[in-house]
């Protein structure tokens, strides 16, 4: 068993934990944190594959850098929306965001 296998197992575990969190948690902030977890799981997978198969400075590394940048931006915007929404609704629970439901 090469150590790539363990790295990928870690990535899959982290991804599943993140996905599970996104699906079951009701708190928006936790959901965003879980999203970050999923993104970082992907980062780990990319970097690991890049390291073991294509050299340290391969395309995988480059992708993970992009993802980190995008994740930062995404979190900024996402949290800003959460704050704005919180000011209006006084809640961060997704099941209470149901005004449009007929």
Partner 1 sequence: MGGTQYMKIAVALIVLLPLAGFFITLLLGKRLFRAKAHVLPVALVTVTAVLSVYAFEWVFRHPHEAFVWNAFSWVAAGRFTVAWGFLVDPLTGVMLLVVGIIGMLVHYYSIGYMKDDPGYYRFFAYLNLFMFAMFVLILANNYLLLFLGWEGVGLCSYLLISFWFRKKTASQAGKKAFLVNRVGDFGFTLGMFLIFVTTGTLQFTGVFDKAETIGSGTLLWICLLLFTGAVGKSAQFPLHVWLPDAMEGPTPVSALIHAATMVNAGVYMVARSYPLFVQAHTAMLVVMIVGTFTAIYAAYIAITQNDIKKVIAYSTVSSLGFMFMALGAGAWAAGIFYLFAHGFFKGLLFLCSGSVIHAMGGEQDMRQMGGLRKKIPITFWTMLIGAIALIGVFPFAGFWAKDEILGGDFSHGYYVVWAVGIVTAFLTAVFAFRLIFMTFFGESRASAEVQHHIHESPKVMTIPLVLLAIPAALLGLVIGWPPETGWIHTFLQPVFFDVEHEKFVWLGVGGGLMVFSVAVALLGVYVAYVLYIRRTELPGRLAARLPGAYKASLNKMYMDQVYERVPIRSTIAFARWLWTFFDVKVIDGAVNGLGRLWELFGERLRPLQTGRVQNYAFSIFAGMLVLVVVLAWIWGS
- Chain residues binding partner 1 by CB under 8 A are 19, 22-24, 26, 94-95, 97-98, 100-101
Smallest distance from partner 1 to CB 31, Å: 8
Smallest distance from partner 1 to CB 57, Å: 30
CA distance 31 to 65: 22
CA distance 65 to 58: 11
Q: How many residues does the chain have?
A: 102
The residue (of 7 and 97) whose beta carbon lies closer to partner 1 is 97
The residue (of 22 and 75) whose beta carbon lies closer to partner 1 is 22
- Which own/partner contact pairs does 68-74 have at CB distance under 8 Å and 24+ positions apart? 68/43, 71/36, 71/39, 71/40, 74/35
Smallest distance from partner 1 to CB 98, Å: 5
């Amino acid at each position: 068993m090469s150590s790539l296998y363990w790295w990928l197992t870690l990535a899959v575990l982290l991804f599943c934990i993140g996905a599970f969190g996104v699906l079951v948690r009701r708190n928006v902030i936790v959901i965003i944190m879980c999203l970050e977890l999923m993104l970082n799981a992907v980062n780990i997978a990319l970097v690991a594959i890049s390291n073991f198969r294509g050299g340290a400075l391969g395309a995988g590394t480059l992708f993970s850098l992009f993802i980190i940048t995008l994740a930062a931006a995404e979190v900024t915007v996402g949290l800003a929306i959460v704050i704005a929404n919180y000011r209006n609704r006084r809640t961060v629970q997704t099941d209470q965001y149901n005004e449009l439901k007929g």
